[in-house]
Amino acid sequence: MNRRKFAFTSTVFLVVITVVVAGLAFFSNFAARAFVPDLPTAIHYLPADAHAVFGMNVQKFIASPVYAEFMAKHGTEIGADLAEFAAKTGVDPRRDITYIIAAARPGEHKGAGVVIAIGKFDAAAITAFINSKGTPINVDYKGANVLMVPEADGTKLEKGIAFLSASEVAFGDLESLKAVLDVRSHSLPSIDGTSLADLLKNLNSNEMFWFAGNPASILAKAPAGAPSIPSLSAVRSVFGTLNLTSRVEGKVTVAATSDVAAGQLVDFVRGLIALGNLAGGQNPDVAELVRSVQIVQRTDEFDITVNFPLDLIYRLESAKGQFIK
């Protein structure tokens, strides 16, 4: 691991893990919600042009058997750097971060967006730690100090960190960080009142992971000449949740542009399930996974649910790539 960047990556490494796991819930490239009263206040700092929002109840994930399994496999690998970061900053991401929200938004480069971590932070100690690993560029904006962290060759400043308060730290590209600070200072509209906000009302912040998005708005921002995706263009909105305990339980609700479009999407997913059934004929674990997927259509909307024992994932992994690479 590049130690100059550890101050940035150690705090958000849980997000990377989450994205990988949340893919099991389908449509995980889109993210989640706002405006349920118990969500962190920082959700209202997200700009109106966000096309997707994602949330993670960090402490619920830390208490899960999935996290225990991850640490059993990789704890030694990340332990030294994490211990140094905690010792010098007083912040242990596993202990001091309670919630993470992230938003994808349009931008000139791939990956435009912001992640906001909620917890307990010492801005001075973290800044000193970052300075000890390199030479960040300081940007003062709307009463906040933004530290842009150079790439290894020193020629790029793609990502940075902004201290919003003692309990809120934002990570992302400079334009996205500025947008969050603009919203916080009421000089830019937030996602309150947008169609994405309406989706967020359907979600429960006590879920381990939640996500929602507007695929149509994502396609509208696609560059000219980008290949069209007919199945995606038929999706009006998507939201869902995922919990990992002794079982993997996920639910995604997809709204299509019409009843017919919803039926076509359902047929497509059922076709994938049918292909899975063929593989399941050779592997009982694959068959169990396929049986766990249920689809229910309601006019122009449908739900996809999964519910299977957590150890099924480990059994599939132990198949040594025969069915899952």
pLDDT tens readout for residues 154-212: 566 678 999 998 899 999 999 999 999 999 999 999 999 888 888 888 777 788 999 99
Computed over every residue of the chain, the mean pLDDT equals 79
138: alpha, beta or left? (left if phi > 0; alpha if psi -120 to 50): beta
Give the pLDDT band (50/70/90) at residue 17. very low
Domain range for residue 211?
Answer: 3-215
Is residue 325 assigned to a domain? no
Question: Are the C-beta atoms of 291 and 318 separated by less than 8 Å?
Answer: no
Is residue 277 assigned to a domain? no
**Amino acid sitting at position 137:** I
Is residue 112 assigned to a domain? yes
pLDDT tens readout for residues 243-271: 999 999 999 999 999 999 999 999 988 88
pLDDT of 84 strictly over 80: yes
Is residue 271 assigned to a domain? no
Sign of the C-alpha dihedral computed for residues 240, 238, 18 and 119 taken in this order: negative
Quick one: the chain helix, strand, coil %, rounded to 5? 40, 25, 30
Question: Are the C-beta atoms of 121 and 91 separated by less than 8 Å?
Answer: yes
**Amino acid sitting at position 314:** Y
pLDDT of 20 strictly over 60: no
Is residue 36 assigned to a domain? yes
Cα separations in angstroms, 227 against 89, 221, 224: 46, 13, 9
Is residue 220 assigned to a domain? no
The pTM assigned to this predicted structure is: 0.78
Between 235 and 152, where is the model more confident? 235
Is residue 31 assigned to a domain? yes
- Number of structural domains found in the chain: 1
Which ranges of 63-122 would DSSP assign to H, the alpha helix? 65-89, 93-96
- Angstrom distance (rounded) from CA 306 to CA 295: 9
Is residue 90 assigned to a domain? yes
Q: Residue 152 CB: number of other CB atoms within 10 A?
A: 10
Crossing angle for the helix pair 259-280 and 284-291, to the nearest 10 degrees: 160
